[in-house]
Chain A
Amino acid sequence: MSDPAILSFDGPIARLVINRPDARNALSIEILDALHDRLAELEADPRGAHVLVLTGAGKAFCAGMDLKAVLIELSGDPSLGKRLLTSLAELTLRLRALAMVTIASVNGAAIGGGCGLTCVCDLSVTHADAKLGFPEVDLGLCPAVIAPWVLRKLGPGVGRRALLMGGVMSGEDAKAIGLADFLAPDRAGLDSLTNEVAQRLASGGPKALAATKALLNRLDGSEDRDAVLRGAELSASVLATPEAQAALKARMTR
């Protein structure tokens, strides 16, 4: 089986691809482990890339948590949900702490935790036909791991509304509320727009970019590890309730 997360380099621009297109790049333990490994490589990389583009292979960017793994009846492992959520929490902290500037290139569906990853990136580029959103509440879940990142990205009021309303929105609506920073007219235009943004950022001095990003992380509370790690515990406790498990089961068998 091919690598679930692929890292490549093009001069100062690194590219990390979530690579489980047949599962819409949903976050399983396998994918999360691979993403952790690739970020570890980036942290230690001597090539000194100063921009990272995160994207998904195939039609989706990332469909969110692997629902098969969090439905206890199916996984047979009540602890798996918490392990997944904790790994996602650690991944968001790690991605945010990277010295390089990060860009989410949202090629298709970015749902729940997947949409959360776009909020952890410094900037996001999407296209009009992409679908983004936080449908956790529709399944009786609480998006606690990603909530701190969503509120930072959208501002507390708009973020509150997005998390409570659930559902998904178009790339255009995402651009309108600040969930996406750049909008391509369609999927075909996404790669060139992403490349344009990445090249523009890469033209900055790497030290200046890293210092600015580190300052922004300090200013906006991104270094508060507890908020995200406690979010994993809260999210896991809601996930384990009969109400949430019933809503998940109904979704899986729909």
Chain B
Amino acid sequence: MIRFEILDNLAAVTLSRADKRNALTPDMLESLTGVFERMPGDIRAVVVSGDGPAFCAGFDLKMCAADQSGETMRQLLTGLSRAVRAMRAIDQPVVLAAHGAAVAGGCALLGGADIVVAERQTRLGYPVAKIGVSPAVSAPFLSSTIADGPARARLLDPDLICAEDARSIGLVHELADGPGATRERANDIARHLAAKPGIGVAATKALCNHLSRHRTDFAMEALTVSLSLAGSEEERERLAALWS
């Protein structure tokens, strides 16, 4: 459900569960982390995108609702945190192409990318408090990308925002028309980055990571906050209500 392809010195990582709007399972997040942790050294830039009608609708909530113990939710939260950290940690720049929806866990993946291109119709946000889930796990990466005011609004307000608004707060860097053009623009940016001397790009990415470490150092604490609610009564009731 994660496709990994290499073309010359570029890597394409694709969420491929199109019939479920690429809803994330624990296995998918583990593969995603693995792909980044094992990224070959001769790759110069990575493009992340999704198959089908939407980049990613977030966690597979049916799986979560079916598991009363909260264990599936805990695996998803832990897996998401690891995947985003793995995206950040690699030497190569990561370009992400979002289309349709980048919601909840799907929106969180943007926090691992260096450059984000979104299709104009994309809806983005973290509407998870509605189902009793805390988006705290995403906060360190969101607030190491955009200003504190908009980050706070996005994590607390369950509304989704349009791609244009996401660009105005810096969550998205460029807009494109249609999923094909969005992926093509992300590929263009990746080729542009791959053509530069590698040492400067890798050192600059590492430096940007270092300069925002006062935010991302909270990653484990933030994950703990989200985990503390997994399997809670509030969460179980609200998840069950989605299908009632």
- Using a CB–CB cutoff of 8 Å, the interface residues on chain A facing chain B are 136-144, 147-148, 151, 155-161, 163-166, 227, 231, 234, 238, 241, 243-244, 247
Contacts and interface: CB of A to CB of B under 8 A. Distances in A.
A120 B199 CA distance: 26
B115 A165 contact: yes
Contacts of A243: 197-199
A142 B212 contact: no
Contact of A157 (B170, B198, B200, B201): B170
A82 to B, nearest CB: 15
A147 B200 contact: no
Given A160-B114, A161-B115, A161-B173, A151 B200 contact: no
Contact of A140 (B144, B189, B192, B196): B196
A196 to B, nearest CB: 26
B197 A147 contact: no
B199 A155 contact: no
B133 to A, nearest CB: 24
Contact of B207 (A140, A142, A158): A142
B144 A156 contact: yes
Nearest to A151: B211
Nearest to A140: B197
B204 A155 contact: no
A157 B145 contact: yes
Contacts of B144: 156-157
B76 interface: no
B56 to A, nearest CB: 19
Nearest to A157: B145
Contacts of B173: 157-158, 161
B242 to A, nearest CB: 32
Contacts of B193: 164-165
Given A157-B171, A241-B199, A244-B197, A148 B204 contact: no
A160 B93 CA distance: 10
Contact of B189 (A141, A144, A165, A247): A165
Nearest to B171: A157
Lowest 7 A-B CB distances belong to which pairs? A140-B197, A157-B145, A142-B203, A137-B200, A140-B200, A160-B208, A157-B170
B208 A163 contact: yes
A143 to B, nearest CB: 7
B200 A141 contact: yes
Contacts of B114: 160-161, 164
B238 interface: no
Contacts of A157: 144-146, 170-171, 173
A242 to B, nearest CB: 10
Contacts of B211: 147-148, 151, 156, 227
Interface string B216-233: 000000000000000000
18 contacts: A136-B204, A137-B196, A137-B201, A141-B200, A142-B199, A148-B211, A156-B211, A156-B212, A156-B215, A157-B173, A160-B205, A161-B173, A164-B93, A164-B115, A164-B205, A165-B193, A234-B203, A234-B207
Given A144-B203, A160-B208, A161-B115, A155 B197 contact: no
Nearest to A231: B207
A151 B212 CA distance: 9
A47 to B, nearest CB: 37
Nearest to A227: B211
B161 interface: no
Given A165-B115, A165-B192, A144 B197 contact: no
B105 to A, nearest CB: 19
A138 B194 CA distance: 10
Nearest to A246: B197
Nearest to A247: B197
Contacts of A148: 211
Contacts of A139: 197, 200
Nearest to A238: B203
Contacts of B205: 160, 164
B115 A238 contact: no
Contacts of B197: 137-140, 243-244, 247
A164 B196 CA distance: 10
Contacts of B93: 164
B147 interface: yes
A141 B199 CA distance: 7
A158 B170 contact: yes
Nearest to A242: B199
Nearest to A160: B208
Interface in B144-202: 144-147, 170-171, 173, 189, 192-193, 196-201
